[in-house]
């Protein structure tokens, strides 16, 4: 069940990232058109692009972890014996789970709560910053699920 949920969340996350990338491209194009063709810079496009970049960065890191596409220096791990490689990979995923659950999920929930009461708003758009910071617990939850799936696969591969 965990594997199925991890697969579905990975697929949905990939589609979400594609939509966010399209949105940031359109936003930046609009910003350039307004500035250079219409000689009237848009007041909100820079802030929209900044917030989209935050979401793309955090969700993209989560997607990279889910798909094993993140940067890793495995030259040291590859020199270890198979038993030591297993332990190193397991330790790495346990550290990922700790970071995702404690820093991103719990810390992100704390930050969202701090910006909800009192309400902190963005300068140009006037939206609640909690909506922007909500990407932290979202990515933390998804990364925790991915870490659990990686740990499960790692333990399963050891058994077989």
**Measuring CA to CA, which residue among 34, 63, 36, 76 is closest to residue 139?**
63
pLDDT of residue 19: 98
Q: How confident is the model at residue 74 (pLDDT cuts 50, 70, 90)?
A: confident
**pLDDT, position 3:** 78
Q: State yes or no: pLDDT of 93 exceeds 90.
A: yes
Distance between terminal CA atoms of the chain?
19
Name the one residue in this structure whose structure tokens are 């979401």: 55
User: How many domains are there within the chain?
Assistant: 1
The secondary structure element, H or E, covering residue 131 is helix 129-133
- One DSSP character per residue, 25-88 reads HHHHHHHHIIIIISS---SSHHHHHHHHHHHHHHHHHHHHHHTT-S----HHHHTS-HHHHHHH
Domain interval for residue 130: 2-159
Tell whether the torsion through CA atoms of 146, 158, 155 and 81 is positive or negative.
Answer: negative
Q: How confident is the model at residue 160 (pLDDT cuts 50, 70, 90)?
A: confident
Q: What is the pTM of this model?
A: 0.91
């Amino acid at each position: 069940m965990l594997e199925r949920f991890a697969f579905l969340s990975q697929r949905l996350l990939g589609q979400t990232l594609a939509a966010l990338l399209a949105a940031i491209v359109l936003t930046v194009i609009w910003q350039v058109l307004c500035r250079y063709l219409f000689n009237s810079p848009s007041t909100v496009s820079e802030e929209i692009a900044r917030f989209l970049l935050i979401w793309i960065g955090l969700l993209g890191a989560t997607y990279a972890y889910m798909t094993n596409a993140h940067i890793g220096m495995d030259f040291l791990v590859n020199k270890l014996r198979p038993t030591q490689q297993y332990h190193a990979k397991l330790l790495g995923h346990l550290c990922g789970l700790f970071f995702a659950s404690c820093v991103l999920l719990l810390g992100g929930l704390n930050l969202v709560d701090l910006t909800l009461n009192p309400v902190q708003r963005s300068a140009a758009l006037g939206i609640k910053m909690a909506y922007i910071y909500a990407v932290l617990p979202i990515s933390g939850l998804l990364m925790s699920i991915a870490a659990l799936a990686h740990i499960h696969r790692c333990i399963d591969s050891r058994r077989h």
